[in-house]
Structure 1
Amino acid sequence: MRPSTLLLAASGSAVLAAPTPSLLGDILSLTNNVITTVTSTITNNLAQQVAQLGCTLQTNANKHGQIISSVALTVQAIEVAAKRFTQTCNWSKPGKSYINWSTYKANGVNLGAWLEIEENYDTEWWAANVGSFPDEWTWCSTVGFSVCGPLLEKRYASFFTTADIDKMGAKGINTLRIPTTYAAWTKVPGSMLYSGNQQAYLRTLTNYAIDKYNMHVIVGLHSLPGGVNTLSIGEAFGHDAWFQNATNLDYSFKAIDSILTFIKTSGRQNSFTIAPINEASDNFAGFATPAGLTNDGVNWINTYINGVFSRIAKVDKRIPLMLQDSFFSEQFWSPFYAAGTNLVIDSHIYFFAAAGAYSQYVPAAVCGQAKYIGQGDGKFPVFIGEWSLQTLYNNTIDNRKTLYDTQVYAYQKYASGGAFWNGKMLNTRDTVDGEGKLQDYWSWEGLADAGVVSNTLNQSYC
């Protein structure tokens, strides 16, 4: 979830009209039996289509566990303690073995806005190349791949390079989380996302990170055919047709197979985790809340994830699967999967929209929230896949070190560590409440240059 994402989600109820009585509605009410029959037929057909893909359509969404939202919280005003603590973290060194996320501790960074572009992470580049188009899909569909393709290739070659990996390695980063679009892995008929040399650039950086710094790499599919959340990061604005669509599911599996081939042919198979989905929502009006997924949406995600597990097993069951929790928590998804499944849950924690989130009060909230989000019910490990420093109110430059050190320490103490979002932000346009610009709170490299990121955690609140 990004700052612009939440603003869109917050306005969802305003732009989605509520149902109103109509003649059509009256007719539908009178013909309820017919509609029920049609719905049943559609469901049966979908089950048959899914079965042809080697999967079983899941129908047990009501089996879910407790919903503990990682973003729906209120930060209480407290008397802020003056003391800060120096903490030592024993970061994992993956080596040549497959990692166990139950014991692995990730000190991670996201390489976002690279192989999946986002406007507010490089505003000057976007203005000069994409212009007024809201997303890659609209841009490429308007100007054509012959125009957008070469510009994207230049970006893939330059936004993150081995020099960035060196900078991260010098600060003890041991994990990279790398979002991609499905177009990096498979060509979907009619898709206007660019398919080019993404895998070649990814290969260069991941080989370098693994060989020189022994980093672990999470390869993420942040978009899926049809769209997973109505946002640009899900495919394009307004797209949410991935759900309940067997054709889109089939192409999703093709992308998964391509990722697995990439991992298998890397010569470094033990160094990867696969993350098949990100921040999914089939009810955008409730995005990032417990209303963001319907039961049908939950069933569809579980159908997909079970299919991904089957495909991983054909390569090597020791490759972990990371399931982004759609802001529902590990406890919610836990009952759907057997104990011992090679599964890690990815939760995202942000304070830029939390009620009462004044910068000075957030560190104490981090210490408490990390425990109940990070530990879950104990069945599956939890990784904090995205977090940042921006708070809703009173951001201060001086408090960034405390916010950074506290989150790094708390997420490795109570969870399997985390990954800061994002590795790089180039945005001097957007401001925050308080001091500085947006990039002062969302750019890991900027924080490293400012001395906020260091090899010593000496300003932790807990």
Structure 2
Amino acid sequence: IAAGASLAIVITIIVAAVVVSKKSSSSGCTNDLTCNLDSISSSSIPAGAPDYLNPFTWYDTIDFNLTYTDAMVGDLPIMGLNSTWDDSNAPNSIVPALNEDWGSYASRPARGVNLGGWLSIEPFIAPDLFDYDDSLGIIDEYTLCTYLGATACSSTLEKHYSSFVTESTFAEIADAGLDHVRIPYSYWAVQTYDDDPYLFRTSWRYLLRAIEWARKYGLRVNLDLHALPGSQNGWNHSGRQGPIGWFNGTNSTQNVQRSIDVHDRLSKFFAQPRYENIITHYGLVNEPRMTFIAASEVINWTTTVYSMLRENGLPNKTIVVFGDGFRGLDAWQGELTGYGDGLALDVHQYVIFNNEQIVYNHSEKVTYACAGWTEQTERSMNTSTGFGPTMVAEWSQADTDCATYLNNVGWGNRWTGTYNTGNSSDPLEALTPRCPTTDSSCSCTSANNDPSTYSDDYKQFLLYFAQAQMDSFETGWGWWYWTWWTTEGSYQWSYKRGLEAGILPAKAYDRNFHCNSTTIPEWYPALPETY
């Protein structure tokens, strides 16, 4: 009771501190990202205010409230927010508005998309950020910012934050018939530690603005903490490629506590009433690699953090999401019980990162999406055979792993047999071609081409493959495509580019392929299996 009373007092004070202001207006700022600074005086910002509270240091001030406040919730700034919000919007006519009850996700699954590569950058999504000589070893956000230094890292990444996702992104997502958006972000939006080279807290305000834009278009938000202190998987999208320092290594205890501290602050912030209708999913950690981390330790951590989130006021209707950790869905049967619909299992489904599945031909890939993944999802949804509430927060229609930098900078790909992890015992390594013919005819040329060059057969396959996955994942709690946008190439990883190419349904809820009623064609030999 005391904690709840304190939270209520804090929220009341803070709401009073945030002035409803026309100073956030973006009217007339189409070509000038900071023209609304003209509405305030630099003298309104106290001398010595940190950059994250001083809009005169920001690259982009569009749609931010520029009235100065140093008020915090969970020791996180509310600077930039208005004190009022409107939850009356819906993304389309077939789902409820934000201020209306969604109902059961088992009955009305989510249809969403990720904003991957934005606040947690990834080389394959934004390869232009990593266009350096290989000898420099720039392979992730850590090495990029180390090389650039603080000033250049700041200017480079804030330009990326400003341009990669804009208000029109959310309008287009809603127009595509989608109703949820998953936003990956990293721990340095909240805090940096020791010698971290990461850009501190700048991404925080872009995250807050994105939530408000999602609200404007009636899109519900899945918050995805994509990078934890120490790295939870050792992959580039955790910030630093290499050793796993979360639950592993000499600093593991410190990194685990830091991850709890980050969630403590985040949950206090997002317990505010303004977020109770729009943040429907709260992700604990993206892709913890439980093939290298003890599952029992991650399960105990999950229990601890879940309790803390609820004690901090995160609404019971906000679904807490944990990752399957690559254990296999059946392994979660009987684990983390007693949470009802308040806790959901997240699995990421791809055929291309598995040496046994990437070799499927086109027809087999669609068949597997319909039969294999549907069976897995249904088993997982049943608590006698699986965990229970299950969602697929990442998938794509890509049928090769040919996209530049997809498998880390310089690591090659499975499709042509050039995927060298540097560890000959790694089951993921592929030094012989893994396209369906498994020979030297395997090529990435066609797969990486612009969709305007795709044959009608290939376009039909990609459309069917995507819709088969949508069908399958809707037997669970829904899906989020990975991802909305890529800056160059990687066409089969961009929902926006897929829409433009006609290889995704114009409306996610209106599809012409259904697993239980559409015959899956045999595309070969009209469609080569080698590209």
Matched, 1:359 2:413: no
Give the distance between the partners of 1:99 and 1:236, measured in 2 at CA. 39
Structure 1 contact 129–151 (Cα < 8 Å) conserved: no
Structure 1 contact 106–416 (Cα < 8 Å) conserved: yes
- Aligned pair partner of 2:272 in 262, 265, 270: 265
1:445 maps to what in 2? Answer: 496
Give the distance between the partners of 1:94 and 1:312, measured in 2 at CA. 22
Structure 1 contact 350–388 (Cα < 8 Å) conserved: yes
Give the distance between the partners of 1:224 and 1:119, measured in 2 at CA. 18
Q: Match of 1:351, SS?
A: coil
Which structure 2 residues correspond to residues 118-137 of structure 1 after superposition, within 5 A? 118-127=122-131, 133-137=138-142
Structure 1 contact 228–235 (Cα < 8 Å) conserved: no
1:374 maps to what in 2? Answer: 377
Structure 2 contact 227–239 (Cα < 8 Å) conserved: yes
- Aligned pair partner of 2:486 in 425, 432, 457: 425
Taking a change above 3 Å as real, the CA distance of residues 132 and 340 of structure 1, as seen in their structure-2 partners, is closer
Taking a change above 3 Å as real, the CA distance of residues 356 and 92 of structure 1, as seen in their structure-2 partners, is farther
1:335 maps to what in 2? Answer: 334
Matched, 1:234 2:285: no
Give the distance between the partners of 1:99 and 1:200, measured in 2 at CA. 30
What do the CA deviations read for 1:276-323 (whole angstroms, capped 9, x no partner)?
1122226xxxxxxxxx245xx212211221121112111133321111
Structure 1 contact 382–416 (Cα < 8 Å) conserved: yes
Structure 1 contact 91–107 (Cα < 8 Å) conserved: no
Q: Match of 1:424, SS?
A: coil
Structure 1 contact 123–426 (Cα < 8 Å) conserved: yes
Taking a change above 3 Å as real, the CA distance of residues 345 and 90 of structure 1, as seen in their structure-2 partners, is farther
Taking a change above 3 Å as real, the CA distance of residues 168 and 458 of structure 1, as seen in their structure-2 partners, is same
Give the distance between the partners of 1:370 and 1:198, measured in 2 at CA. 35
Give the distance between the partners of 1:211 and 1:166, measured in 2 at CA. 9
2:111 maps to what in 1? Answer: 107
Taking a change above 3 Å as real, the CA distance of residues 126 and 262 of structure 1, as seen in their structure-2 partners, is farther
Unaligned runs of 5+ in 2: 1-92, 401-434, 437-446, 448-457, 517-531
Matched, 1:181 2:186: yes
Taking a change above 3 Å as real, the CA distance of residues 128 and 355 of structure 1, as seen in their structure-2 partners, is closer
TM-score normalised over the length of structure 2: 0.62
2:147 maps to what in 1? Answer: 142
CA drift at 1:153: 1.1
2:254 maps to what in 1? Answer: 247
Structure 1 contact 111–423 (Cα < 8 Å) conserved: yes
| Residue type of the alignment partner of 1:184 | A
Q: Match of 1:458, SS?
A: coil
Give the distance between the partners of 1:132 and 1:243, measured in 2 at CA. 26
Which structure 2 residues correspond to residues 160-179 of structure 1 after superposition, within 5 A? 160-179=165-184
CA drift at 1:101: 4.0
Matched, 1:391 2:399: yes
| RMSD over aligned Cα atoms | 2.5
Structure 2 contact 111–480 (Cα < 8 Å) conserved: yes
Taking a change above 3 Å as real, the CA distance of residues 440 and 358 of structure 1, as seen in their structure-2 partners, is farther
Q: Match of 2:181, SS?
A: strand
CA drift at 1:355: 4.4
CA drift at 1:402: 0.9
CA drift at 1:346: 0.6
CA drift at 1:373: 2.1
Structure 1 contact 275–322 (Cα < 8 Å) conserved: yes
Between the two proteins, the alignment pairs up a number of residues equal to 351
Which structure 2 residues correspond to residues 1-400 of structure 1 after superposition, within 5 A? 95-97=99-101, 100-127=104-131, 133-213=138-218, 215-244=219-248, 245-265=252-272, 267-272=274-279, 273-281=281-289, 292-293=291-292, 297-314=294-311, 315=313, 316-341=315-340, 342-353=342-353, 354-375=357-378, 376=380, 378-379=382-383, 380-392=388-400, 393=435, 396-400=458-462
Taking a change above 3 Å as real, the CA distance of residues 217 and 99 of structure 1, as seen in their structure-2 partners, is farther
Give the distance between the partners of 1:334 and 1:182, measured in 2 at CA. 30
Q: Which moved more, 1:245-254 or 1:121-130?
A: 121-130
Give the distance between the partners of 2:107 and 2:167, measured in 1 at CA. 28
Structure 2 contact 348–394 (Cα < 8 Å) conserved: yes
| Residue type of the alignment partner of 2:271 | K
CA drift at 1:164: 0.9
Unaligned runs of 5+ in 1: 1-88, 283-291, 429-438
Give the distance between the partners of 1:266 and 1:423, measured in 2 at CA. 28
Taking a change above 3 Å as real, the CA distance of residues 173 and 109 of structure 1, as seen in their structure-2 partners, is same
Taking a change above 3 Å as real, the CA distance of residues 92 and 407 of structure 1, as seen in their structure-2 partners, is farther
Q: Match of 1:390, SS?
A: coil
Give the distance between the partners of 2:381 and 2:178, measured in 1 at CA. 28
Structure 1 contact 309–321 (Cα < 8 Å) conserved: yes
Taking a change above 3 Å as real, the CA distance of residues 99 and 328 of structure 1, as seen in their structure-2 partners, is farther
Structure 2 contact 393–481 (Cα < 8 Å) conserved: yes
What do the CA deviations read for 1:243-293 (whole angstroms, capped 9, x no partner)?
1522111211121123223322360223221111122226xxxxxxxxx24
CA drift at 1:95: 3.7
Give the distance between the partners of 1:97 and 1:188, measured in 2 at CA. 40
Taking a change above 3 Å as real, the CA distance of residues 382 and 92 of structure 1, as seen in their structure-2 partners, is farther
1:403 maps to what in 2? Answer: 465
TM-score normalised over the length of structure 1: 0.70
Give the distance between the partners of 1:313 and 1:378, measured in 2 at CA. 25
Give the distance between the partners of 2:201 and 2:506, measured in 1 at CA. 36
| Residue type of the alignment partner of 2:337 | A
Give the distance between the partners of 1:208 and 1:185, measured in 2 at CA. 21
Taking a change above 3 Å as real, the CA distance of residues 94 and 378 of structure 1, as seen in their structure-2 partners, is farther
Larger Rg over CA atoms: 2
Tell me the percent identity: 20
Taking a change above 3 Å as real, the CA distance of residues 250 and 97 of structure 1, as seen in their structure-2 partners, is farther
Taking a change above 3 Å as real, the CA distance of residues 266 and 183 of structure 1, as seen in their structure-2 partners, is farther
After the TM superposition, which segments of 4 or more aligned residues of structure 1 sit over 6 Å from their partners?
128-131
Structure 1 contact 226–240 (Cα < 8 Å) conserved: yes
